[in-house]
Amino acid sequence: METGEGMTGERGTSPGAGTDRRGVRVAGTFAEAFDMRASRVLITANSPAWARTAAQCMTGFATSVIGCKVEAGIEAELLPHETPDRRSGASVLLFGFDAAGLASRLLERVGQTVLTCPTTACFDGLPQAAERVTVGGVLRHFGDRYQSSKFLEGQRYWRIPVMEGEFLVQEAFGVQKAIGGGNLLILAKDQDAALGAAEAAVDVMRKVRGVILPFPGGIVRAGSKVGAKRYKKMVASTNDAYCPTLRGRVGVTSALPEGVNSVLEIVVDGLDRRAIENALSVGIDAACRPGVIEISAGNYGGKLGKHHFHLHSILSEASA
C-alpha cells in the first residue's frame, strides 16, 4: 500500500464526535499507518551549506515508496558537536518496505549525491540497529583498488580517493523497524487559509526528531485513493471525496463539510510511534487557526495498517 501518494479513505473519518480547538473542529477519527524499515544517514561537510546541499540532493524525488521506491527527508541540521567528525552536518531518514530495498536506495543516493558533493563524508546514524546493510563496502569499488579502509571503535570505514581529496564513508548502515503513513488533513475555507495552516504545521513538525515529512515542502496537495473508478490499471488516483471542484458531481460522495473549499495533507514517517504522535500533536495545534474549518485524518477503517493515531487521544495526551 502506498504512503507517498497521501492516500486517504473515501471519507477519511470514523464515527466519533469532534472536539473544538480555537474554533477549529478536530474530527473524531484516526490516521492509519503501517510498518516500514528506516535508515538514518549522517552527512557532514566543511560548511552547513554543503551538508545541506548533499542532504537536499539525496532526498530529491523521494515522496513515495511506490513511485520513487523510497521515502526520504531531512530530519535535522546538525551542529559540529552532534556529528562523528565534528563538522557541520545533516541527518537524513530513508524509509522503505524492507532492508534489501533500502540497501539499494542507499547505494544509489549516497553514491550519486553524497560521494559527488564537495567536502562531504557519510556516517551511519543508527549504530545500535541489529540489522545492517552494506553501503561503503560496495561504494569502495569506485576507488578502483586505490581505496583504503580503517577500523575505529569496531566499525570499518572506507576512504575513497576523489579529485578533490578523499570521500569517507562507513561500511554498513543500520536498518530498524519504523512506521509510515501517519497523516493529518487540513480542511479550510480557501487555498490561502489551507496553505497558511499547513505551513505553520510543517514548521513545528519539522522540529521533532525521528520524523520526516517526505512531500514537497512537507505538504500534499494531491491526496489519492486506492485504484481508480475508470482506469482499472491505476494503482492510485485523485481522492475525489476531498476535491472541492467535484462536490455535487454525479458519482462523487463528497467528504467535505459545508464551507470547505481547499484541503491539504501532511504525511509523516517516523522511527517510532512516539515521534509520530509528537509531530501530529504539534502539527494539529499549529494548524488550528482562522480559516480552517476542520482537522481530520486519512484511514481505511483499520484495514491499511495496524498503527492507528487517534487525533483526540493525541491532543488529550499532549494537554496532560
User: Above 80 in pLDDT, residue 9?
Assistant: no
Residues 186 and 138 sit within 8 Å (Cβ to Cβ): no
Total tally of structural domains belonging to the chain: 2
pLDDT in tens, 171-217: 999 999 999 999 999 999 999 999 999 999 999 999 999 999 999 99
**Strand partners of residue 111:** none
9 found inside a domain: no
Smallest CA-to-CA distance from 287 within 217, 194, 213, 215 is with 194
Residues 26 and 101 in one domain: no
User: Above 80 in pLDDT, residue 4?
Assistant: no
pLDDT of amino acid 153: 87
Residue carrying C-alpha cell 479550510: 188
284 found inside a domain: yes
Residues 138 and 163 in one domain: yes
- How far does Cα 320 stand from its chain's mean position? 27
pLDDT in tens, 75-109: 999 999 999 999 999 999 999 999 999 999 999 99
pLDDT band at 11 (very low <50, low <70, confident <90, very high): very low
Residues 46 and 23 in one domain: no
148 found inside a domain: yes
25 found inside a domain: yes
Residues 144 and 201 in one domain: no
56 found inside a domain: yes
Residues 192 and 304 in one domain: yes
- Proportion of the chain above pLDDT 90, given as a percent: 82
User: Above 60 in pLDDT, residue 5?
Assistant: no
What is the Cα–Cα distance from 169 to 139, expressed in whole angstroms?
A: 8
User: Above 90 in pLDDT, residue 236?
Assistant: no
Q: Which of 125, 156, 176 is the last residue of a domain?
A: 176
Residues 65 and 180 sit within 8 Å (Cβ to Cβ): yes
CATH number of the domain to which 191 belongs: 3.30.70.520
Smallest CA-to-CA distance from 295 within 12, 10, 33 is with 12
98 found inside a domain: yes
Residues 24 and 45 in one domain: no
Q: Which of 176, 210, 230 is the last residue of a domain?
A: 176
pTM value?
A: 0.92
Q: Which of 176, 194, 219 is the last residue of a domain?
A: 176
Residues 29 and 46 in one domain: no
120 found inside a domain: yes
140 found inside a domain: yes
Q: Angle formed by the axes of helices 273-287 and 311-319, to 10°? A: 90
Residues 165 and 212 in one domain: no
Cell of 1: 500500500
Q: 299 is in which domain, residue-wise? A: 19-34+180-319
